[in-house]
Amino acid sequence: MFHLVSSLYTQYTKREQYNILILGLDNAGKTTFLEHLKLLYSSSTDTSSNKKESDARSISDILKSKRILPTVGQNTTTIKFESSIESHLSSQFKNINLKFWDLGGQKSLRNMWSRYYNSCHGIIFIIDSTDTERFQECYETLKEIAHDESWKNLENGDENEILNIPILMLANKQDLPEAVDLVSLKTGVFIQLVSELEATDSKLLPVSVLQNEGLKESLEWLVTRLIYNKGNKMPEYK
């Protein structure tokens, strides 16, 4: 009885927290993404759409004026997520914290990533859509994540399972004329991996982190997947 009461208490007073890793090669836009989220979700409670639009524009200006240096250690931030979509899931979108980990993307730092896999609920993998020279390296990095040994040890112990959490792949820098579009990305070097991942619980979406295009929609998709995946990977309660 005590346990029942205390778990109900926990459920109603604590917030669900989902941990999300932001991964990708260096220079993909990971830190810019994180900085943008901080600005998007930090303050405004005003819901008028005009106000929101002008906020988004000024946020983009703030961001462009910031000097973001290559990440050496790790940046983390926790946001209170609020959905702008009215749906049957709306009530489940309440009381959610998202904790983001932006880990450095340079080659020497990438072997640290797997240490975080056991405690994360989702991954955002950012691709620089203009960096065609490194598409192969980018593909191999994503493949290593998807096939990492750590996923096998997770709860259900299924040796064959590659991954039991969603990966949101973002084709970033779509504002630049030289950016490779989504269709070409999906049919190029990434073709097999992306279709393998999209057949499970993952998705590739086009964004411009700097211009604030596609960010909210992508995040809504990810949160929906995190909620659907709750049975597989329980959130933390904070």
Q: Which residues bind Mg ion (CB under 5 A)?
A: 30-31, 71
Beta bridge partners of 114: none
Indicate the residue whose CB is closest to Mg ion. 71
Distance CA 193, CA 209 (A): 23
**Which tokens is 51 given?**
């106000």
Q: How far is the CB of 48 from Mg ion (least distance, A)?
A: 33
- The answer to whether 68 and 86 are in contact (CB under 8 A) is no
Q: How far is the CB of 25 from ligand GDP (least distance, A)?
A: 7
Q: Is 83 helix (H, G, I), strand (E, B) or coil?
A: coil
The SS3 call for residue 74 is strand
**Least distance to ligand GDP, CB of residue 80, Å:** 23
The answer to whether 32 contacts ligand GDP (rule: CB under 6 A) is: yes
Do 123 and 20 contact (CB within 8 A), yes or no? yes
Q: Binding pattern to ligand GDP, positions 43-72, x when CB under 6 A?
A: -------------------------x-xx-
What angle do the packed helices 215-228 and 30-42 form, to 10 degrees? 90
From the list Mg ion, ligand GDP, none, partner contacted by residue 209 (C-beta under 5 to 8 A by kind): ligand GDP
Nearest residue to 124 via CA among 144, 101, 147: 101
User: What CA–CA distance (Å, rounded) separates 12 from 21?
Assistant: 27
Interacting partner of 32 out of ligand GDP, Mg ion, none (Cβ under 5 to 8 A depending on kind):
ligand GDP
Residue 200 binds: one of Mg ion, ligand GDP, none (C-beta under 5 to 8 A by kind): none
Contact between 29 and ligand GDP per CB under 6 A: yes
CB of 184 to Mg ion, least distance (A): 26
| Interface segment toward ligand GDP; rule CB under 6 A; list 2-10, 26-34, 184-192, 216-224 | 26-34
Give the shortest CB-71-to-Mg ion separation in angstroms.
Answer: 3
What is the Cα–Cα distance from 28 to 172, expressed in whole angstroms?
7
Q: Does 210 bind ligand GDP (CB under 6 A)?
A: yes
- Please give the Cα distance from 145 to 204 (Å, whole number): 15
Find the radius of gyration of the CA atoms of the chain.
18
Quick one: what does residue 210 bind among Mg ion, ligand GDP, none, with the CB cut-off 5 to 8 Å set by partner type?
Answer: ligand GDP
Please report, as ranges, the residues that interact with ligand GDP according to CB under 6 A.
24, 26-32, 68, 70-71, 105, 172-173, 175-176, 208-210
